[in-house]
Structure 1
Amino acid sequence: MTAHLKIDFVSDVSCPWCVIGLKSLEQALERASDATTAEIHFQPFELNPQMGPEGQDLAEHIAEKYGSTPEDMQRNREGIRDRGAALGFTFNMEKRSRIYNTFDAHRLLHWAESEGRQLQLKQALFSAYFTDGRDPSDREVLIDVARQVGLDPDGARQVLESGQFTDEVRQIEQRYGQLGIRAVPSVIVNDKYLIQGGQPVEVFEQALRKIAAEPK
């Protein structure tokens, strides 16, 4: 008999380790399908909530925020690209030159959950930014990505232009902040167990099997 798990995946669409974490989690769920099924809910987290609409040069931003040298950045890029490739995801580092505000993307993801297409939109937003180098703060880009995954583009436009779900997303962000979430990805299973970071598939699988085996 398989156990059904509720998974809250707290992340930002501009976080490369969130891509790695999601791909690892998905593969772990496939491996552990004999023991568990899961329902994934994507929860908002902004790495740069004060980022202006023009964005910022990525290398400049990383140097300012983390104190990274060009050599550090190159090593990190190579490590992320290799981890992604091993999981079947393409990071085109040369296409991603700026960091952007992601609040509108989170509002759209909130809406997409009610439409039953949240996972597909999350995956497509990751690909749009990290593989294709598109701007996730551009509303026309967001509407196009929504259309690509089968969401109503007129509905997406209405959400974005009306400011719908602004309060709801802010409240969710605040709630996770109050729970102590300071870094992403943060994977919360059954409102009880926290797995942080872009862990390997094996780590996720072991954790999921252990949680699934616990008595109800």
Structure 2
Amino acid sequence: MASSHPLQIDVVSDVVCPWCYIGKRRLERALALAPDVAVEVNWRPFFLNPWVPREGMSREEYLVTKFGSVEAYKGIAGRVQEAAAEEGLQYNPERVQRQPNTIDCHRLIHWAATSGAAAAMKQKLMELYFRDGGDLTKPAVLVQAAAGVGLDAHEIRARLGTDADVDLISSQAREASSKGIGSVPTYVFARQYAISGAQPPEQLAAAIRQLAAETSGSV
């Protein structure tokens, strides 16, 4: 039904955003509902908490800073857990001990994209954080995660020790903000149309079909 050119979908999100975790699964379900539409999915960086220091911080300090108290987050967490469970995902916030700055996570996703493993890298990092309470501030954890999706552990360890692509990731995140993206996940279709929030798969699938049809004549 569509053009020979795939519909480009840029997903602006962060690995520590629980609704991005859920939204990724819902996008996958949406794509399964529209299997005849060719798409190209790109994972774009966003810093949900740009004020978290590069070395990260304790989860308790983070929750107090952002929500006022640890208790204040429990109600929010309960709703997220229910939504995650509906998608077959586990969200175990009580396991998280460290709140990371996510620039290194986004670097891993960027590097994984060269071998077509960006989605797998993002999923691995999200599962480590949300399901297992993994400490994404530790280079060893990141290296192991990267190796788990087929990246070379020695190369990743060396690159994480440098500032490689820090400026690139930072500029991409700033660009998203400059375009008015303030909540994530945000799905940008054909670089023109944006939908924010972890929308139901059926709504995303309908949008994918409609926009693929609308843009097929202009490419």
TM-score by shorter chain over 0.5: yes
**SS of residue in 2 equivalent to 1:147:** helix
Structure 2 distance, partners of 1:90, 1:54, is: 23
Corresponding position of 1:50: 51
CA distance change for structure 1 residues 68 and 17 in 2, over 3 Å: closer, same or farther?
farther
Structure 2 distance, partners of 1:177, 1:152, is: 32
Contact 2:98 2:137 in 1 (8 A): no
Corresponding position of 2:26: 24
What is the deviation of 1:186? Answer: 1.0
Question: Structure 2: which amino acid aligns with 1:56?
Answer: S
Corresponding position of 2:141: 141
Equivalent of 1:6 in 5, 8, 23: 8
Question: Structure 1: which amino acid aligns with 2:16?
Answer: S
**SS of residue in 1 equivalent to 2:161:** helix
TM-score, scaled relative to structure 2: 0.90
Asked whether 1:183 is paired with 2:183, we answer: yes
Structure 2 distance, partners of 1:99, 1:22, is: 21
**SS of residue in 1 equivalent to 2:48:** coil
**SS of residue in 2 equivalent to 1:183:** coil
Structure 2 distance, partners of 1:11, 1:104, is: 14
**SS of residue in 2 equivalent to 1:184:** coil
Corresponding position of 1:168: 168
**SS of residue in 2 equivalent to 1:170:** helix
Percent identity reads 37
What is the deviation of 1:51? Answer: 1.2
Asked whether 1:198 is paired with 2:207, we answer: no
Contact 2:120 2:149 in 1 (8 A): yes
Contact 1:13 1:125 in 2 (8 A): yes
CA distance change for structure 1 residues 169 and 75 in 2, over 3 Å: closer, same or farther?
same
**SS of residue in 2 equivalent to 1:6:** strand
What is the deviation of 1:162? Answer: 1.7
What is the deviation of 1:69? Answer: 7.6
**SS of residue in 2 equivalent to 1:213:** helix
Contact 1:186 1:197 in 2 (8 A): yes
What is the deviation of 1:98? Answer: 3.4
Asked whether 1:207 is paired with 2:213, we answer: no
Corresponding position of 1:124: 124
What is the deviation of 1:19? Answer: 0.6
**Count of equivalent residues:** 213
5+ residue gaps in structure 1? none
Q: For 1:84-123, what aligned pairs fall within 5 Å after superposition?
A: 84-123=84-123
What is the deviation of 1:148? Answer: 0.8
Structure 2 distance, partners of 1:66, 1:187, is: 26
Contact 1:49 1:103 in 2 (8 A): no
Structure 2 distance, partners of 1:94, 1:173, is: 28
Q: Structure 1 stretch 129-138 or stretch 49-58: which is displaced more?
A: 49-58
